[in-house]
Chain A
Amino acid sequence: MDYESQPYHVTAALVEWLLVIGAAALIALFVGGVVALFLAGRRAPALVFAALKRGFSDLTSLSVRRIGALARLTIQESLSRRTLLVLFVFVSLFAAGNLFLQSPGQDMPAKPFVSFVMTSIRWVLIPVALLLSCWGLPADIKSRSLHTVVTKPVHRSEIVIGRMLGYSLLTSFILFVVALLGLIWIQRVVPERSKPQLTARVPVYCDLEDFFFLDRNGQTGKGLNVGDMWEHRGFIEGQTKSRAVWIFEGVDESYLNDEGELRMEYSFEAFRSHKGRIDEGVRFRLHLVNEEKGLDVPYPQRGAGLEVQEFSGERAARKDQEKPIIDIPRELSRTVGLDEDGSKVDLFDDLVEDGKLRIELSCEDDGQYIGAANTDLFIRLADKPFAVGYFKAIFGLWLMVVLVCIIGTTASCFLKGPVATLLTFGLVILGHPMRSYMENQLQQLDEKGRVLGGGMLEACYRLVTQMNVQSPLPENDATRVIQYLDTHIFNGLKIAEFIIPNFKHFDMTVFVANGFDVPWMDAGAAIVPAILTVLGYLIPCVILGYFSLQLRELEAK
């Protein structure tokens, strides 16, 4: 699984959010003030103040009944547009799913089926949410049905919230039905042999900063690259002092399984620099290390080590195939250490220090290599049923759909349907598929001071002149202007990065598809950041939507 576990800092996120919101509010206030000054002259300060005061009261005194009525109206309106027909799309998609996943033979793993369900739900539901939420309000304004509503004692904030709520409820219903269908479909079509992969493993990872490598001399260093473009795993060399080190925190006896063992799972990768014994896997050994006590207890304690079981999730397991699981007993004999009598050591009494357990990986075959990343070794707690992980991921998807509804509704408060759709769709695309690209560009800029191929204008220049990205630009005034402008475009992008929603938090497919439970807290996809993200957008979006509706004439002419 290509996933890096990184802690999510709630406080830091909150502070960042407050800063962004504060800055946005200041800018909005400034722009609003200037516009008021332009339109109303000396009465401007009073007008702005009155608008703010009214806004505050409109946003704080809300009627649940009114919001409920508007939400219900929204749902009825959407239903009258035959929205539920989308369910048939899913039914036919799942029916056709077997065709897309050609010949789901016995050796097909569960992963593609789960991915297929999650991906289809995502890409069918997003347009539904998008179109519903972006077209509803403008249509209402255009047909002037909204006139009848706003001449009732309805706060415009209630209209915004009611709409958001209505769309969210409707799409939630669709999502729920579809998720059930999807679950049934998965249970039916995943080949019998791959069914065990449908589970929700609960991993305990070590933090990214607690994972490091020792080089061949035993010094802290980097993992080797064996020629992969993907620098996810670092490799250690066999029969040297080179090791990959994980320090797990908070390890206590509650981590033991029913047999009293610490169950660990790995997903290492082997790389051979020579053929070796072709019918045997490359071997490795784990070392449970307590540096303070000078303990280095190897596991397994005898024999030549364990054979690496690679890519276990990529195909159905053969009957006799070993699983990449290591059960470490609580009591181990100390084959390396200070005591000569070979006495026993206890996992918790002797090896775990302040809840920290240090585990090192060594490769046992001379000249061969083993690759590992921080999530490639984890403590595996008791599994949960597949449905748990699945519905948590669906919950993540639900949050994303809700966010789309929120953004779509907000956009439709000040834009016409097509434009609102484009804007929201743009944000979705920027927030998910393009997000990593954008982050990568900005990271390059941060680290190297420039981006390969340059910024927007430079890229255009290179395209037109058919110049490759490596060769330097000619030195002249034109290119200097281009580069100067690009710097500012990048600065704009840096700001945009704070505003564009990070849809990464919502995509939990990777967990369910690989048979993992969805984590609550993580800097990537996880439940809590996803909830916080939605809340983080809900508040400013309601405010923005409110002022957009309040400060415009609801006349479609």
Chain B
Amino acid sequence: MNNLTSSQRKLVYFVGIAILAVPIVFLGRPAAEGGQGGGMIAQSRQKYRLGEVSFGEVDPASATMNLVLLGLRGVAANLLWMEADELKEKKRWSELNSTVESIIRLQPHFQSVWKFQAWNLSYNVSAECDAVEDRYFWVKKGIKFLERGVARNERVPEMRHDLGDFYGKKLGRSDERREFREFFLVDPDTERWEGGPDTEINPDRLDNYLVAKQKYEAANEVYRLPGVEQHKMGEPLFVMYPYRSQMDYASARQDENKFGDVTREAWAESYRGWTQEYGQTDFPTPGGVIRFEWTHDELERKGEEEGYSLDFKIYWQGRYEDMVNYRYWKLRASVERTPELAAARKAFADGRVQFREEQDMFAARDTFYDGLEKLQTVIDNPEYRREDGSSRLLSDEADLVEDALKAIIIWRHILQDVLGQPIPDEFPMDEVWVDPQYEGLRASLLEEFQRWQGSGI
């Protein structure tokens, strides 16, 4: 080699490089459109879904960053993570936000980074703020952040499911849920969103639970794709969320004293989704495939196919039903969609207003009585009675009992203490009033009522 001139040596190097490059180029040649063909590496990438494209949206900035940092990506991400922790500790939220952005540029496909930091923004940062508007602002930040994570990780059902949690649980179940749910429709930043919702998270001006339902549905869709797994929770639970969100939506409307047709239809839709979609979903169990809505005949037929006994299949169907509380929710949706129960609930709400705010005692008395009567007809519906005559509704629906007891307490108070009228021996729903199993509940509700009366709020 030493006898070679410099240009000869360079030629030798070049030829060497070229020879070495041939197999790399051959093995790594890219796949054609649609992922067909290509070199061995490209095929394996396709097969194991390791290609950038197969994860979801490609972010050119982060691809560049990774290239620039060579092997130091992990180190850089670590440093940024430490910085993020310090910024959080020192409550420098806006810088925390931009540091987190830098982290995900480095690790765009690291599920827990997205999840952790979205949680950080939506839950931790927002909780630090005193003004509800500010809290909402940071909840939104977290949601938007996670939305982007989902876009970059299309085949990760957990992240979509988490997103549903943010829309549903963070907005709908926190202390500030009343304000949050309002803000979701009318953003407090009225200047920017012109009195409407933040279209980045709610383009169609929907209820937060309905948006959550969409996200959960999207999670289910991805989950059903071949080769996709999720490790967040048991399958029946994971799949259940869109249907439960629908119920949450209906139930939240009731909490907000909205008892019209929209609410009732929301319950009707809940029942339909729960029984006809969720209840007709195949779930593999140790006892073979089951569906919640399958009758014993259907179970038996399936069992013969699979070689399981009917008893065994019934056992597993029951176990799975218990896991998700299937029958309870079915009953609940079923009864809430009836006009009678809607009317009863509306009557109780109206009665409270008449009693408390309008101070129209006669009207309140009649409204409560009317409501109790309506409730009685619902309870008496044979569909909800067990064979021994006891009410399935009353034993399963604790809040119905509570509602009934509250109504009776106020009604009795109006009669006895305000109007000075006698209380009749029999009245609608008196079975609850006299039932000794509810005595404790009755006493505590009475106490609560006294406090409520005294507080003047």
Contact = CB atoms under 8 A, between A and B. Distances in A.
Q: When A and B assemble into the complex, do they touch directly, with CB atoms less than 8 Å apart?
A: yes
B132 interface: yes
Contacts of B129: 310-311
A188 interface: no
Max chain A Cβ within 10 angstroms of own Cβ: one of B102, B190, B192: B192
A27 B316 CA distance: 85
B contact face: mostly helix, strand, loop, or mixed = helix
B192 A314 contact: no
A116 interface: yes
A99 B104 CA distance: 12
Nearest to A229: B89
B61 A272 contact: no
Contacts of B132: 278-279
Nearest to A276: B130
A96 B105 CA distance: 13
A232 B89 CA distance: 10
Interface in B83-136: 89-95, 97-98, 101-102, 105, 128-134
Given A2-B90, A230-B89, A311-B91, A318 B133 contact: yes
Contacts of A308: 130
Interface in B45-104: 61, 89-95, 97-98, 101-102
Contacts of B134: 310-311, 315
A377 interface: no
B311 interface: no
Contacts of B179: 278-279
B90 A314 contact: no
B68 to A, nearest CB: 11
Given A310-B129, A313-B94, A100 B105 contact: yes
Given A275-B175, A281-B130, A310-B134, A99 B95 contact: no
Interface string A226-246: 001110100000000000000
A468 interface: no
Interface centre among B93, B98, B101, B132 (most CB of A within 10 A): B98
Interface in A164-213: 193
B189 interface: yes
Nearest to A513: B95
Q: How large is the interface on B (under 10, 10 to 19, 20 to 34, 35 or more residues)?
A: 20 to 34
Contact of A269 (B91, B93, B137, B188): B91
A100 B92 contact: no
B229 to A, nearest CB: 29
B175 A278 contact: yes
A111 B94 contact: yes
Nearest to B85: A229
Q: Which of B61, B90, B94, B102 has the most CB of A within 10 A?
A: B94
A107 interface: yes
Nearest to A318: B189
A417 B101 CA distance: 37
A473 to B, nearest CB: 27
Given A2-B90, A269-B91, A314-B93, A107 B192 contact: yes
Interface string A246-272: 000000000000000000000001101
B92 to A, nearest CB: 7
Interface string B321-342: 0000000000000000000000
A109 interface: yes
Interface string A294-315: 0000000000000111110111
Contacts of A109: 94
Contacts of A101: 98, 101
A272 B130 contact: yes
A319 interface: yes
Given A314-B93, A315-B137, A319-B191, A116 B98 contact: yes
Contact of A315 (B94, B101, B102, B105): B94
A508 B10 CA distance: 52
Given A270-B130, A311-B134, A318-B189, A278 B98 contact: no
A281 B132 CA distance: 9
A282 B130 contact: yes
Given A102-B101, A107-B189, A278-B176, A311 B93 contact: yes
A281 B135 CA distance: 12
B83 to A, nearest CB: 10
A314 B191 contact: no
Contacts of A282: 130
Contact of A108 (B92, B94, B128): B94
A519 B312 CA distance: 79
Contact of A112 (B97, B131, B191): B97
Nearest to B101: A102
B106 to A, nearest CB: 11
Contacts of A115: 95, 98
Contacts of B92: 2, 314
Contacts of B94: 108-109, 111-112, 313-315
Most central of B97, B101, B130, B175 by chain A CB within 10 Å: B130
A143 interface: no
Contact of B131 (A103, A193, A310, A313): A310
Nearest to B102: A100
B227 to A, nearest CB: 30
Contacts of A279: 132, 179
A63 interface: no
B188 A99 contact: no
Nearest to B135: A278
B225 to A, nearest CB: 28
A275 B130 CA distance: 10
Contacts of A228: 89
18 contacts: A2-B90, A100-B102, A102-B101, A103-B144, A105-B200, A109-B94, A115-B95, A230-B89, A278-B179, A279-B132, A279-B179, A281-B130, A282-B130, A311-B91, A314-B93, A315-B93, A315-B134, A319-B191
Interface of B: 61, 89-95, 97-98, 101-102, 105, 128-134, 137, 144, 148, 175-176, 179, 188-192, 200
Interface of A: 2, 96, 99-103, 105-109, 111-112, 115-116, 193, 228-230, 232, 269-270, 272, 275, 278-279, 281-282, 307-311, 313-315, 318-321
Given A105-B200, A230-B90, A310-B130, 16 more contacts: A100-B101, A101-B101, A102-B98, A103-B144, A112-B94, A116-B98, A193-B192, A228-B89, A269-B91, A270-B130, A275-B175, A310-B129, A310-B131, A311-B128, A315-B137, A319-B190
User: 6 tightest A-B contacts by CB?
Assistant: A270-B130, A99-B61, A319-B191, A112-B98, A314-B93, A314-B94
